[in-house]
Chain A
Amino acid sequence: MTDARYHAPEGLDRALALLDQWRHDALIVAGGTEAVPRTGYGPRHILDISGIAELRQLHAEGPERLRIGALVTCTMLATSELVHKRMPVLAHSALSVGGPQIRNLATIGGNVASRSPRSDLLPALLVLDAVVTLSRHGGSRRLRISEFLAEGSRDNELITLMDCAGGGGAAMQRLSMRRALAPAIASAAVLLHLNATRKGWSQVRIALGGVAPRVMRAHKAEAVLTHVPPFGSEFAQGVRRAGDAAREEANPVSDVWATSWYRRHVIGVLTQRALLQAAKAADAA
């Protein structure tokens, strides 16, 4: 028999108070896709937050932003008209998570909290420059997603909200061993904004997944492309050089799905393809 105790608070305040009390002794269960297989390993407290309705909301803010509650599921992201309109790259990323059953359970908060190098949502969230709200008993703070990836959360904090801004043109390219139920071997998300003259870029963001201990922004690749005009053969060459830069910046490992050299090779390809796709979308925007 297990010693664990189960708690399912319906209000956020109650949940935060409990978490403040138990800290590392608590296993937080949101969608359950990561946590439930781990309940057998002896946590003292199971803190089931899946019933906190206020965290499952998805709202528009202004013309371009979305406020996404931490318990919004991948299915909700993949099917929301708002998400499709404002930041389709997030919908597309959500659709590549697991399979339908997993998507019905898995939450954006859980995915972000895992900080998994293979996360399907983090590359998109990185290029969308998402802001994470971390709440604790008695307060909250906001971190840019890149900071969150570096620091993580404190043991009495819960991710409660993701704030993202869309606009421009974005794309995600991903490679895996089969078309569903497969973690990404490597992935690249890109967001491009044309500047006012439309003869240059005001925003170049490239994020790489699966090729480093954390999902990362590819700053070198971004630098390569930032001053490249968005059309013609210069652009094409810039895309190729950006792909090469991504290869250099990547720091992949070998595992059951792929070797590090394969990941390194393929991230260049995916970066290029995502850049071309995003450029088309930016042009159309």
Chain B
Amino acid sequence: MSEPIRLKVNGDVHLVAAGPTDSLLDVLRERLSITGAKRGCDRGECGACTVLLDDLPVNACLVLARRVRGASVTTVEGLRCGENLHPLQRAFHELGATQCGFCTPGMLLSAKALLDHNFTPTREEIRTAISGNLCRCTGYTKIVAAISVAARAIALTKELGDGARTASSSEHDRDKSFIGVVGRRLPKIDGLGHVTGATKYADDLVLPRMLYAKPVYSAHDHARIVRVDVSRARQAPGVAAVITAQDVPENRCGLTVKDQPVIADDKVRHRGDVVAFVAATDPRAAAQAASLVAVEYKPLPAIFDPVESLRPGTLTIHEPGNLVPFNASGCIRIRRGDVNAAFDAADIVLDETYRTSPIEHAAMEPHAMLVLPGPTGSLTIWTPNQVLFTRAAEIAGILKLPLSKLRVIAPPIGGGFGGKNDVTHEPHIALLALQTGRPVKYTWSRAEEFIASSVRHPFVMRHRIGVMRDGTIVAKWVDTTGDAGPYANQSPAVLTVHCIFSCGPYRVPNISIEGRLAYTNNQIAGAFRGYGVVQAAFAVESQMDAAAAALGIGPLEFRKRNALREGDTSPTGQPLAGVGIGECLDRVADALERDHE
């Protein structure tokens, strides 16, 4: 029941069809192909869809298109003044305020609304004005600085007329005096697209006759699958295909341990397991059909604690047991010297157990992917994946396709942080494309991101440190267990790095580190910026302060005494060169001293 409405966007009047529940965001992106406003959450919680409605910033996902009537809509595409960039666009681009660019359009519009009525904002006013626009890349520091500079530029223009040079350009000119290119503060070569809304992310891509996909996820944390009935879903209006485990040529994958089904067949082991996947002519039809898939489960007790998971007698998530079998022992061990003797000789021994939580990548761009089947059985996949070539090989293996028939393209990615590091639903979308012969697109909802995408490994880490009264560390003993979730994924590599860095940047002559991974029914734990070191450093650095306190030495001094030096070796015996820890300690100490003066 779509009716045409008149919509004024960036000064142009459009006659466009709008259904009764279509949001302004839906109409801008799907009907008018104005893709600068981004879909980050569809619930008004992230600000990526911010547009100006008669100069007021609003979430376009919360405004019904039909409500807009005579109001003027401004999107990022309408910011330019003819040939020239708006001072905000220029400042964002030249001062590094845009990284992945996904939050940039919304951020620019919120900033414009501020500067339109206040061109001498305080830092606090700037922060408040953009407090409804989330950014996961920049930490907001350069964004606030850029808005401040743009404000000065606008104020100057008002005072001096349009010929005024802006502060930002003189800062940039200064850098051109550097002789080399390396070392230069160069704005990103793709930055212009980010500030004008021209950059196309995966969800901005459309193809003719495109179908939309929707997954059916597990209703349980742990259960046997008795039966999957997709008959009603297949009959639903608009449905082109529904796939289940039977449709997957090679239904087991995994980087180290091949323990993960592409579509769950015998069991589901967490809420993010796919049980079926639907392709239909529009997203609503796909969602409707997905709700018609009937699955009969036999629920099993679920395990959420990695230490409990390894206790003998606990229900197994995989056979033969819950210790992830990535090598013969299921452990990473790092040993040197004689820890027992060293602890006996130590003046003080501290022993503490540290824990970290599962963390979501929360990139502003949800995963999205588009697959185009070619006429001779080849496939083109657009997916914002950080590890293109290895993942292409995995996808080819699942589909039993030669790599020469598979082209994988990564559009600009709206934030990764390791969350776009795995094969996720590319094989499913590819299978739907192959079955239907049509392009198929899938964009994750924010809720689906939380349910099915990977998280940072929670770790339970027991650290014991032995120190002498003179402030030297003589021994470290570490026993650490990582929560891998239901599938091994990249966990062994994460565990390896975690163990290697479990002594921190310090000289420790006697070491015993042992780490392992447990299967649980929590979310899949995968790659995440820091890759196991975040967790290890929490334990190491917390205990360093505790040890310093026990010794009555200042925390900075204690670290200086034990810091690694040129020519030292890592816990695995690796010779170290270019050791910057001492200089880093000095620089921080200097900075703090200067503040106190």
Contacts and interface: CB of A to CB of B under 8 A. Distances in A.
**A, B: real partners:** yes
A228 interface: no
A37 interface: yes
Given A2-B284, A5-B1, A105-B59, A100 B132 contact: yes
A9 interface: no
Contacts of B1: 1-5
A39 interface: yes
Contacts of B133: 99
A203 interface: no
Contact of B63 (A36, A100, A181): A36
A98 interface: yes
Interface stretch (B18-26, B199-207, B422-430, B579-587): B18-26
A179 interface: yes
Interface in B118-162: 128-129, 131-134
Task: Give the contact-size bracket for chain A.
Answer: 20 to 34
A231 interface: no
Contact of B44 (A101, A179, A180): A101
A105 B64 contact: no
Interface stretch (B50-58, B253-261, B365-373, B514-522): B50-58
A39 to B, nearest CB: 4
Contacts of A1: 1, 19, 282, 284-285
A100 B128 contact: yes
A13 B21 CA distance: 24
B47 A99 contact: yes
Interface string A103-127: 0110000000000000000000000
A213 interface: no
A4 B20 CA distance: 7
Contacts of B284: 1-2, 40
B42 interface: yes
B410 interface: no
B43 interface: yes
A101 B47 contact: yes
A51 interface: yes
Given A1-B284, A105-B63, A100 B131 contact: yes
Contacts of B67: 8, 29, 32, 48, 50-51
Nearest to A104: B56
A246 B447 CA distance: 36
Q: Which among B47, B64, B69, B129 has the highest number of chain A CB atoms within 10 Å?
A: B64
Nearest to A42: B21
Contacts of B132: 98-102, 180-181
Given A1-B19, A98-B132, A99-B132, A104 B44 contact: no
Interface in A42-90: 46, 48, 50-51, 75
Interface in B262-295: 282, 284-285
A262 interface: no
B44 A102 contact: yes
A33 B62 contact: yes
A6 interface: yes
B64 A101 contact: no
Interface string B96-124: 00000000000000100100000000000
Contacts of A46: 20-21, 64
A173 B59 CA distance: 27
Nearest to A1: B284
B200 to A, nearest CB: 24
Contacts of B42: 37
Given A1-B284, A48-B64, A101 B45 contact: no
A69 B64 CA distance: 21
B38 interface: no
Contact of A40 (B21, B59, B134): B21
Q: Which among B44, B69, B134 has the highest number of chain A CB atoms within 10 Å?
A: B44
A6 B64 contact: yes
Q: Which among B19, B53, B58, B133 has the highest number of chain A CB atoms within 10 Å?
A: B58
Contacts of A37: 42-44, 62
Q: Which among A2, A29, A99 has the highest number of chain B CB atoms within 10 Å?
A: A99
Given A2-B1, A37-B43, A46-B64, A101 B59 contact: yes
Interface residues of B, number: 34
Contact of A36 (B23, B113, B129): B23
Nearest to B238: A1
A105 B58 contact: yes
B64 A36 contact: yes
A6 B66 contact: yes
Given A100-B57, A180-B131, A6 B20 contact: yes
A37 B62 CA distance: 7
A37 B46 CA distance: 14
A160 B62 CA distance: 22
B58 A39 contact: no
A1 B45 CA distance: 25
A29 B47 CA distance: 20
Interface in B282-341: 282, 284-285
A6 B5 CA distance: 13
Given A101-B50, A181-B132, A29 B58 contact: no
A6 B285 CA distance: 20
A102 B59 contact: yes
B61 interface: yes
Given A2-B284, A48-B66, A39 B129 contact: no
Given A51-B67, A100-B110, A36 B61 contact: yes
B20 A5 contact: yes
A5 B19 CA distance: 9
Contacts of B59: 101-102, 105
Q: Which among A6, A31, A37 has the highest number of chain B CB atoms within 10 Å?
A: A6
A33 B43 CA distance: 8
A101 B64 CA distance: 15
Contacts of A51: 67, 69
Contacts of A102: 44, 59, 62, 132
Contact of A2 (B21, B66, B113): B21
A79 to B, nearest CB: 10
Q: Which among B21, B56, B133 has the highest number of chain A CB atoms within 10 Å?
A: B21
Contact of A181 (B21, B50, B66, B131): B131
Q: Which among A36, A51, A105 has the highest number of chain B CB atoms within 10 Å?
A: A36
Nearest to A98: B132
Given A46-B64, A105-B58, A105-B59, A4 B128 contact: no
B269 to A, nearest CB: 24
Contacts of A36: 23, 61-64
A180 B44 CA distance: 13
Interface string A15-45: 0000000000000010111001101100000
Given A2-B19, A105-B58, A179 B63 contact: no
A136 to B, nearest CB: 23
Contact of B21 (A39, A99, A100, A179): A39
A2 B20 contact: yes
Given A1-B19, A2-B21, A99 B66 contact: no
11 contacts: A1-B282, A1-B284, A2-B19, A2-B21, A2-B284, A6-B21, A32-B63, A46-B64, A99-B133, A100-B131, A105-B59
8 smallest CB-CB distances across A and B, nearest first, come from A99-B132, A6-B20, A180-B131, A39-B21, A101-B132, A104-B56, A4-B20, A32-B62
Interface of B: 1, 19-21, 23, 42-45, 47, 50, 53, 56-59, 61-64, 66-67, 69, 110, 113, 128-129, 131-134, 282, 284-285
Given A99-B133, A100-B128, A105-B63, 14 more contacts: A6-B20, A29-B67, A36-B23, A37-B42, A37-B43, A39-B64, A46-B20, A46-B21, A75-B56, A98-B132, A101-B132, A102-B44, A104-B53, A105-B58
Interface of A: 1-6, 8, 29, 31-33, 36-37, 39-40, 46, 48, 50-51, 75, 98-102, 104-105, 179-181
